[in-house]
Structures are given as structure tokens and as C-alpha cells.
């Protein structure tokens, strides 16, 4: 399909800073996200979508493409998130590389950084494509501005081509997916779909219906600071306890040492002084009991350190974030098979792998709306080396249209 506005729309979206903040107690966690939703709502109205609403409780912007057929068919939904990850998102200046030769180094602006096949071997797949990259100073934001772009562009195409018959379609754009809390208040009844898909995956063909079980961990450590000249048998260094805590975890179960179905403990931030230290982790495991075992281990380590230092020096707070959506989706194979058929009809090979992460679809599936995840096209997401192929974005929009077509024809 030809999506006239897709590239310009994506460039416009990624230039808007919607970085979320995992340490914020507000929802949305940053005000820019809500401002973007308001602008997006106006755009949805302009292209002709109906029932455009921002739900103040869920912080989702939703809209409807009304059916243009009389027969009753399932209502299908498509969902993406507007926030970007914890990396510089201010003054995003995308580069457009046309007709990439599949091998050359791509300088990222004047930053001194480059994209090349050594650090980004998937570049070889994009011979002849138009690539959108960063300038090396920010992320790109394809996660998940690409998904937002693809959904809006697919809706715009259907509105411009009323000869294409379809049932009712619902779309939704949420905040704070990157913090793990974005879908907490998603309103399944208000959304009103029979099944849905998040457009939030990576490379072409990804079809993800199994995710990690996930939890966040906050470790507070209270030391005892005293001048080092008189510290003997008195000082309790919170930073040393933090090191002891981290070293007590299985060293082969950090992200850099795990792959496939192996879970992990991931230290994402450490702040502190001799007096007080704070550590932030994410904990992941494909098996729910495995996640519980990891949480139990964390508590045991804290207890051991408290005994060693004779007091409540280490406090841990564990927050469950989401569970493996395979527990739900294995009961709804028709939703997965529909996406597979849509891809195959377009000559796209479905790639079914357990995703070493999670999407809003994890929580939404457990709320009663089966919601697997489809590719949006981003590569090297969450950093300066992020890039995306325009042609893959177009294919993602094609998959959305094909799912809508198959749903309208009860061909699932």
C-alpha cells in the first residue's frame, strides 16, 4: 500500500519528547506524554475517526473507525504507546538514508558515533531500503512512535478508501509503557474490542504471544557514616552493603549473561553515599514460579545482610509488573493464527519467539482482552544506535489492514 503521510508523520512524532520517568509518582509520569495525546486526538479527528476520547483514568486516547458493512463481525483493536525509553529524547533530529546499500557505515550526524554491520548486523537485511536513524545524540523513539504511526496511517488509508469493506475497528494509544505501569488502568469494557494487537515489536515478522513475568525491585540501604579516622568497628558503609547485595545474586543471571528462556536480575540504577544507598532492579523470568523464586532469593539476601550488620539496614520493596501473556493467549489460538495468516498473505514470514521483555498486551490480556504483539520495525531500540526501515513500517501497516480484512470476511 502507499501511505502518503507515513514518513512525515513518523518524523513529526519522534521529534516530540515523550520520555517517561520510572521514578515519578504521577500518572502519566511526565506531562509531555499527555500533551502529545491531546495533539494526537486532534489529528485523529481531522483524518475522520469517530469517538475520539482521552480517558482521564487510564490515560489512553481511543478512537473508532466505524464499520462500513452491515453483517456482524468481531471488533478488532490496535494499541501502541506514546512514551519513549530512559535515554535522551530532547531535540531528536532523525537522519533519512535513502536506498541503503546494505553494507556501508552510517555516520550518526556529527556525534562521532556510527551505525555499521559490526555493531548492527541486521543492517545487511535492508539493502535498497530507506532507513531513518538518529544523529547519535538521542534515541529515535521508534519504540513506540513507529507503532503509533503505523496504526494512524492504516486508519487514514481505510478512511480514504471506503471501497475497502471492514468491520468496526478500535485503536488506543497509552502512556508509560516503558515504566511498566502504563496499562494498569486500561478499560477493556470501554475499549470494546473482541481481541486486539499491540504494534510494539521489533524486526519484520515478529509475532509475540509469550513474554517474561516481571517485577521491579527497590533496595534501600542505611549505613552509619563516621569520620574514617575513627571508623574502626563503627562505620557501616551503605555502598559496601550495596556491593555485597549485588555480589550475592547469581552472577551468571544478569542480562549480559543470559539469552533465550533464561531469566535475570538487572541492576538499572545505583545511587548512594556511605550513609545511604539505593538500588533499582528489574527481575524477569518466563515461569511465574521462577519469578517468585527470584523474589524469595532477594529477600533471603536482605535478611542475611541484616543479620551480618545486626539491624534493619537493608529494606527491599518488590512490585509485580506483569505476567507471561502466554497463560492467556494459549486459550485463544485463533487470535495468533489470524496474525500469522495476515503475514503469510503478505509474503511475510512470522517469527514466533518468546519476547525477552513485555508489552502492554501482557497486562491487557490478563484483563480479559487477548492481545498479542506484532512487529513495528524498530532496531537497536532505546539508544543512539536505533534505526528503522520505512519499508518495514509500511509492511506493518499492511499487516494491520490485512487483519482487518480477514476479520471482516470471517476468515480467521
> Which residues are catalytically annotated?
83, 177
Provide the 10 A C-beta neighbour count for residue 163.
Answer: 5
Distances (CA, A) of 115 to 110, 145, 316: 13, 21, 40
Joined together, the cell numbers standing for residue 349 give 514470514
Joined together, the cell numbers standing for residue 21 give 520517568
- Residue 127: alpha-carbon gap to chain centroid: 27
Distance CA 381, CA 395 (A): 19
Pairing between strand 387-389 and 131-133?
antiparallel
**Residue from 199, 177, 187 nearest 404 by CA:** 199
Distance CA 412, CA 403 (A): 9
Amino acid at each position: 500500500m502507499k501511505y502518503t503521510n507515513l514518513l512525515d508523520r513518523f518524523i513529526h512524532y519522534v521529534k516530540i519528547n515523550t520520555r517517561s520517568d520510572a521514578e515519578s509518582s504521577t500518572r502519566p509520569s511526565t506531562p509531555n506524554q499527555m500533551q502529545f495525546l491531546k495533539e494526537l486526538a486532534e489529528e485523529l479527528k481531522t483524518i475522520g475517526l469517530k469517538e475520539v476520547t482521552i480517558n482521564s483514568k487510564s490515560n489512553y486516547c481511543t478512537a473508532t473507525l466505524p464499520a462500513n458493512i452491515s453483517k456482524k463481525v468481531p471488533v478488532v483493536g490496535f494499541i501502541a504507546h506514546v512514551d519513549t525509553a530512559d535515554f535522551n529524547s530532547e531535540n531528536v533530529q532523525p537522519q533519512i538514508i535513502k536506498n541503503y546499500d546494505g553494507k556501508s557505515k552510517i555516520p550518526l550526524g556529527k556525534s562521532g558515533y556510527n551505525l555499521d554491520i559490526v555493531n548492527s548486523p541486521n543492517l545487511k537485511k535492508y539493502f535498497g531500503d530507506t532507513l531513518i536513524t538518529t544523529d547519535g545524540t538521542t534515541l529515535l523513539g521508534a519504540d513506540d512512535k513507529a507503532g503509533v504511526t503505523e496504526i494512524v496511517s492504516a486508519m487514514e488509508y481505510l478512511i480514504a478508501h471506503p471501497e475497502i469493506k471492514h468491520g468496526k475497528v478500535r485503536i488506543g494509544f497509552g502512556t508509560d509503557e516503558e515504566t511498566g505501569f502504563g496499562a494498569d488502568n486500561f478499560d477493556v469494557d470501554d475499549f470494546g474490542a473482541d481481541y486486539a494487537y499491540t504494534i510494539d515489536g521489533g524486526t519484520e515478522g515478529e509475532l509475540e504471544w509469550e513474554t517474561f513475568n516481571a517485577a521491579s525491585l527497590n533496595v534501600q540501604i542505611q549505613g552509619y557514616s563516621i569520620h574514617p579516622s575513627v571508623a574502626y568497628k563503627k562505620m557501616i558503609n551503605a555502598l559496601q552493603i550495596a556491593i555485597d547485595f549485588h555480589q550475592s545474586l547469581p552472577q551468571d543471571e544478569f542480562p549480559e549473561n543470559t539469552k533465550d528462556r533464561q531469566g535475570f536480575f538487572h541492576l538499572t540504577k545505583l545511587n548512594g553515599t556511605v550513609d545511604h544507598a539505593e538500588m533499582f532492579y528489574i527481575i524477569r523470568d518466563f515461569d511465574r514460579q521462577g519469578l517468585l523464586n527470584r523474589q524469595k532469593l532477594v529477600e533471603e539476601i536482605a535478611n542475611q545482610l541484616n543479620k551480618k550488620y545486626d539491624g534493619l539496614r537493608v529494606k527491599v520493596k518488590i512490585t509485580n509488573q506483569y505476567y507471561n501473556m502466554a497463560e492467556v493467549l494459549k486459550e485463544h489460538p485463533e487470535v495468533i493464527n489470524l496474525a500469522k495468516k495476515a503475514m503469510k498473505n503478505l509474503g511475510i514470514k512470522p517469527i514466533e519467539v518468546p519476547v525477552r521483555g513485555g508489552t502492554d498486551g501482557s497486562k491487557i490480556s490478563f484483563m480479559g482482552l487477548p492481545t498479542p504483539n506484532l512487529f513495528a520495525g524498530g532496531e537497536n531500540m532505546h539508544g543512539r544506535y536505533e534505526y528503522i526501515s520505512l519499508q518495514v513500517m509500511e509492511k506493518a501497516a499492511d499487516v494491520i489492514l490485512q487483519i482487518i480484512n480477514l476479520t471482516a470476511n470471517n476468515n480467521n
